[in-house]
Amino acid sequence: MIATFDPVLLARIQFAFTVSFHIIFPSFTIGLASWLVVLEWRWLSTHNPVYEEVYRMWVKIFAVTFGMGVVSGVVMSFQFGTNWSVFADRAGNVLGPLLGYEVLTAFFLEASFLGVMLFGWNRVGPKMHFAATLIVAVGTLASAFWILSANSWMQTPQGFRAGSDGLLYPTNWIKVIFNPSFPYRFFHMVTASYLTTAFVVGGIAAYYLRHNRHVKHARVMLGMAMIMAIFVTPFQAVLGDMHGLNTLKHQPAKIAAIEGIWNTEKGAALRLFGWPDQAEEKTKYALEIPKLSSLILTHSLNGEVKGLKEWPKDDRPPAVWVFWAFRIMVGLGILMIFTGVTAAVLFFRKQLFNTSWFQRWCMAMTPAGFAAVLAGWFVTEIGRQPYVVYGAVRTSKAVSPVIGSQLTMSLLAFIFTYVFIFGAGSYYIVRLIGKGPGDSEKAYGAHGVKEPPLFTDSASEKGGKHV
Amino acid sequence: MFNLGELLDLPLIWYGLIATAIFLYVLLDGFDLGVGILFPFAPSDSCRDRMMNSVAPFWDGNETWLVLGGGGLFAAFPLAYAIIMPALYMPIILMLLGLIFRGVAFEFRFKATGRSRRFWDYSFHFGSLVATFMQGMVLGAFVQGIKVQGRSFAGGAFDWLDAYTVMVGMALVFGYALLGATWVIMKTDGITQDWARKCAQYVLGYVAIFIGIVSISMPVMNADVKRLWFSIPNIFYLLPIPLATLVMFVLNWRNLHKGDEYSPFFLSMGIFLTGYLGLGISVFPWLVPFAVSFRQAAAAPESQSLLLVGTVVLLPVILGYVAYCYYIFRGKTSDEAHY
């Protein structure tokens, strides 16, 4: 039955599934890599073993997460072609080099020095090891730079021309790379990754404190996480607002969907909640705050906000997804800001590390960053519809000539594999967290290997069993 | 706008670069996939630990060459990318799934104990096996040609599946197993090395048989390939390739029996090089055999120019630090790991 589905929809579901799964890992590892740099730097400059132990715990989690990010990312580099071959053909001239630069400047760097970071402890000096950590962190940021440039170009394309053959040709690379939405999307996403990591670290630190385990380490972790929550969450709100205004300028239909506004209005109300109905062309059950939408978007009480009816029905994004995903993202952002403010208050009362309800709150906020990142990407990607390259290539015209049944089978295979593999990965990460930093097991145990035997290697090998 | 197309033959340069990237992928991921293929046959758990540790610092970087091959193809020859990916949809998806199962095993295996550890052993093995087999099938389908109409793939969902592609799939499994076994000889000692040497001796014969079959079948299946290799004077220019392959097989066989530790790995890579050259010469100038040439598939010169500048600057740097990482982890691997 599912085979009779629209192949465009199937291709979209499959791509959405694999890319959503993938983005979870980089949004954690970008932040984690930078944090590991800070930890190793503190350790090298203070020689405080707590930093080392925290580093060694998190580098293992980093390795598992990074491994899952790599294997799910390799899939992405092929899916442009397997699912969206017409898009690959038409936009390849512009997007191809950007992805090529991502591989050349980021992937090799990360992959090569990750080996040194994980396995090089006894083979390179501490400075070289620190350099490897730093290089991996720079690699994650370089990767974000190129992939967000490519994505932003699909949102706000410029510096290209459409050839008579239907292909898009670059005319100005600086304009392509630094397209209008790129700076906002880049900083918004990198900051989101830092916050995602901070809330994971903070949540786990709170768990340790609650159970009175690894208290020295947990204080370092919670302290650093709350510095991020206090200082970076408001900054992220400002970045988000700037990103939104940029979207209003270049993709007003997306903003209309976010706001759930159908008729162009002066002094538009902010619809806090409601149900945008694509067929009836109105937002039902709306809870409104008068004039606020105009105030936020135009910085004037009676500013004009365009409604979705300005665009033909075929050119409108599916409003309900965009509307609700946006509210989830912003809602989580508000909870994060609240966490930061509370942390600041508790800190000045000297109660940051021993307030029970706040510990439970931080534990509950552990997945907040992931959810907000996913919701944000749903807003921007679904809000771009019905285009894959905004205004230039329609999604319905981008799909591969692959028959539906193939897509259905591969989609099921991906769902099965990802749920199983990444379920196992999460399980191992939870176990690493359960073990915690600075526990008895050190280098050997980390890899599940016994201490080196007193006998020679070949003597111990004979004792092993067959698989 | 910035365009080197006037000065340089960009499509030809990119054809060479993509071919090189794919070849480096085959060599480098070849040996760690090969380690996975041989994995369950190793004599003991601590042999397996050593095998896994010998490739753990490298597998991720090795796989990046695949991303460069895929990404580079997209960048430099988007039309070829847009035709080949849908044409080989199923084997590519299966290859990716195989790579997932083996890739995560590196991390999970060392964190699991008892039966679940055994599970990741098999995940590593079967993931490597499936990924390799599918890569071979992709190669087999590729050299037989892809149906194209206009700018799209025009064949059926199972065009890639026939006896020939199955044969090439098996050939690549043995080929990677040879790379893997000779790598293990180089990186270990004791009973792990003894076992790997026996494997390599055994696998080498199969590789010779498969290379023979492919070398004979290519000209038999395709008249152009036959003309290319067997016309005069071409045959004299091209004869060194099969001769070199033959010499390397003999040397490899002798050195394996002599107990050499290093030369079998490099001779096996040499055998891959001549095999790859032979295939490349047969397929030239097609990028989607036998429908789209590399010139027809080329991206706009502006696009090829931009990435070429980056490649010229960055590729030597990449090769430099990749070599440095191999240097850091030089010597024999033990069964313990430090992290």
What dihedral angle (degrees, nearest 10) is formed by the CA atoms of B167, B171, B174, B178? Answer: 180
Q: State the pLDDT at residue A439.
A: 58
For the record, the structure tokens of B121 come out as: 């052993």
* Four-point Cα dihedral B111, B115, B117, B121, nearest 10: -170
Cβ(A296)–Cβ(A271) below 8 Å: no
Cβ B325 vs Cβ A114: under 8 Å: no
Q: Is B239 on the interface with A (CB under 8 A)?
A: no
Q: Which two tokens stand for residue A27?
A: 């949004």
Pairing assessment for the beta strands A270-277 and A160-162 based on DSSP bridges: unpaired
- A141 touches A107 (CB < 8 A): no
Is B303 close to A93, i.e. CB distance below 8 A?
A: yes
Distance CA A458, CA B194 (A): 11
Instruction: Give the pLDDT of residue B55.
Output: 92
CB B174 within 8 A of CB B207: yes
Q: What pLDDT shows up at residue A436?
A: 85
Distance separating alpha carbons of residues B27 and B25, to the nearest angstrom: 5
Interface contact B212, partner A, CB < 8 A: no
Q: How far apart are CA B49 and CA B121, in angstroms?
A: 10
Q: B336, A447: Cβ pair inside 8 Å?
A: yes
pLDDT at position A243 is: 92
CATH code for the part of the protein at B10-328: 1.20.1630
Instruction: Please judge whether B89 and A406 are an interchain contact, meaning their C-beta atoms are less than 8 angstroms apart.
Output: yes
Instruction: Please determine, for residue B243, whether its predicted confidence score (pLDDT) is greater than 90.
Output: yes
Instruction: Report the residue of B306, B313, B315, B332 to disrupt the A interface, i.e. the one with the largest count of A CBs within 10 Å.
Output: B306
- Residue A67 pLDDT: 87
Distances in whole angstroms, Cα of residue A184 to Cα of each of A179, A239, A390: 10, 7, 17
CA atoms within 13 A on the CB side of A190: 21
How many Cα atoms occupy the beta-carbon half-sphere of B189 within 13 Å?
7
Q: How far is CA A80 from the centre of its chain?
A: 19
Q: Where are the domains of chain B?
A: 10-328
Give me the percent of chain B exceeding a pLDDT of 90.
64
Inter-chain touch A417–B97, beta carbons under 8 Å = yes
List beta partners, residue B307. Answer: none
Whether the link from the prior residue into A252 is cis, omega within 30° of 0, is: no
Mutant choice from B28, B325, B329, B332 vs A, greatest count of A C-beta within 10 A: B325
pLDDT of residue A456: 37
Q: Which residue of A has its CA nearest to B297?
A: A89
Q: Which two tokens stand for residue A105?
A: 């400047």
Of residues B199 and A456, the one with the higher pLDDT is: B199
* pLDDT of res. A270: 86
Q: Any idea what DSSP says for residue A315? A: G
Choose the closest CB to B339 out of A432, A447, A463: A447
Q: Does pLDDT of B111 surpass 80?
A: yes
Q: What is the pTM of this model?
A: 0.89
Rounded (10°) angle between helices A126-155 and A182-210 = 130
pLDDT at B148 over 80: yes
- Inter-chain touch B299–A96, beta carbons under 8 Å: yes
Report the distance separating Cα A174 and Cα A219, nearest Å.
45
pLDDT value of residue A287: 85
Which residues of B are less than 8 Å from A114 in CB distance? Answer: 60
Q: How deeply is B136 buried, as exposed, middle or buried, from its count of CB atoms within 10 A (0-12, 13-18, 19+)?
A: buried
Identify the pLDDT of residue B102: 92
Q: Does A112 contact B61 at a Cβ distance shorter than 8 Å? A: yes
Q: State the DSSP code for A3.
A: G
Report yes or no: A394 and A347 within 8 Å, Cβ to Cβ: no
Is A82 in Cβ contact with B93 (below 8 Å)?
yes
How do residues A30-40 score in pLDDT, each as one tens digit?
A: 999 999 999 99
A327-335: list long-range contacts, CB under 8 Å, 24+ apart: A327/A273, A328/A371, A328/A372, A328/A375, A329/A372, A329/A375, A329/A376, A329/A379, A330/A240, A332/A368, A332/A369, A332/A371, A332/A372, A332/A375, A333/A233, A333/A236, A333/A237, A333/A240, A333/A372, A335/A365, A335/A368
What's the alpha-carbon Rg for chain B, to the nearest Å? 20
What is the pLDDT, as a whole number, of residue A450? 41
ipTM of the complex: 0.88
What does the pLDDT profile of chain A (467 residues) look like in tens digits? 444 567 888 888 888 899 999 999 999 999 999 999 999 999 999 998 889 999 989 998 999 899 888 888 888 888 888 888 888 888 988 999 999 999 999 999 999 999 899 888 888 888 999 999 999 999 999 999 999 999 999 999 999 988 888 889 999 899 999 999 999 999 999 999 999 999 999 999 999 999 988 888 999 999 999 999 999 999 999 999 999 889 988 999 999 898 888 888 888 888 888 888 888 888 888 888 888 888 888 888 888 888 888 889 888 899 889 999 999 999 999 999 999 999 999 999 988 888 889 999 999 999 999 999 999 999 999 999 889 999 888 888 888 876 677 888 888 898 999 899 889 999 999 988 888 887 544 443 344 444 333 333 443 444 443 33
Burial B162-200 (b: 16+ CB within 10 A, else e): eebbebbbbbbbbbbbbbbbbbbbbbbbbbbbebbbebb
Query: Which residue, A97, A35, A103, is CA-closest to A74?
Result: A103
User: Which of A449, A455, A460, A465 to mutate to test binding with chain B, by most B CBs within 10 Å of its CB?
Assistant: A449
Tell me the chain A residues in contact with residue B58 when contact means C-beta distances shorter than 8 Å.
115
In this prediction, residue A457 carries a pLDDT of 42
